[in-house]
Amino acid sequence: IGLPNWAVDVPQSLPPLTMIIGIDVSHNTKKGRRSCLGFVASLDPQFCDFYSRICFQKQGVEISTNNILDVFIHDALLEFYKRNKKLPDNIVIYRDGVSDQQMKIVKDHEIPKIYEGIKKLKGTIEAKTKTSLQDLKIGVAEIIVTKRIDDRFFTKDNQKRYYNASSGTTVISGVTNPSVCDFYLVAQNVNQGTVTPTHYYLLENSTNFTLDNFLELTYFQCFNYQNWMGSIRVPAPCQYAHKLCLIAGEMIQAEHQQSLNAVSYTHLTLPTIYSVQISVVAVSLKKK
């Protein structure tokens, strides 16, 4: 009936008008296909309904090089405004797939595009509503999500036996980088082997969020992934962006219909699914 399977509690300290964005890039160098960037942005207060876009770029390129992020941000905020009749006060972006050496490139190239997309939105809304808006003041926070790490954390009992760190374990000092704001979070439970934490770097923050706000939001969103009844290693928007670019890059190699940008998978009807399949076939035939 178009509703999410469940929704996790939203942290009480979180402002009610907040948008969460997930960005990831999928690569398929073995088959020589173009890399695909996936972008998802929440549209509802429970972070269960998403606006989604993809774009293709040169093979093996992780950083957005085709100046498309400002368009994605602009269109996502415009859809948010249509749904809620208001704009979000803050945007929290989870950016996956970025190495330590690429963080400066993201800060210098991708983050300015995000602010540029927000700036363009003012003129668009004024033209559509025929009213004058004050300067848009939307806070932006971008968090780099790093999964491939060698760090492990354990707990020790009175008998000096070691166990995996439990779900919800956070590390904000001792092994973190004192020159940046970063933290480790263990969100998932494991039954075998050692649990691998996820490393988060706060690359940009023009919001009023504290570190505790980011910790709580990040942990809660690891339980909001609708394809798994439990916690995952990364926040749900980050995983949605990963799945989106992976499927589009591996299977379709073409953008989906624009009418599906603001349609969640739970809202897809049988005729809509068939229209997607037909459009994919048409694109493949056109290329041949």
Among candidate residues 110, 199, 216, 242, the one labeled active-site is 242
Asked if 139 and 202 count as a contact pair (C-beta separation under 8 A), the reply is no
Whole-angstrom Cα distance, residue 65 to residue 158? 53
| Annotated catalytic residue 24 | yes
Asked if 234 and 24 count as a contact pair (C-beta separation under 8 A), the reply is no
| Annotated catalytic residue 62 | yes
Report the run of H or E that residue 36 belongs to, with start and end: strand 33-42
Asked if 156 and 169 count as a contact pair (C-beta separation under 8 A), the reply is no
| Annotated catalytic residue 74 | no
220: its two tokens = 């809660």
Among candidate residues 24, 70, 75, 216, the one labeled active-site is 24
Among candidate residues 49, 62, 70, 204, the one labeled active-site is 62
Whole-angstrom Cα distance, residue 244 to residue 238? 10
Please identify which residue in the block is written with the tokens 């229209």.
275
- The C-alpha angle 69, 75, 76, rounded to 5 degrees, equals 85
Whole-angstrom Cα distance, residue 226 to residue 219? 15
Residues 6+ apart with CB under 8 A from 145: 94, 95, 96, 198, 199, 200, 234, 235, 238
Please name the amino acid found at residue 198: T
Among candidate residues 75, 96, 142, 204, the one labeled active-site is 96
Whole-angstrom Cα distance, residue 41 to residue 77? 9
Active site amino acids: 24, 62, 96, 242
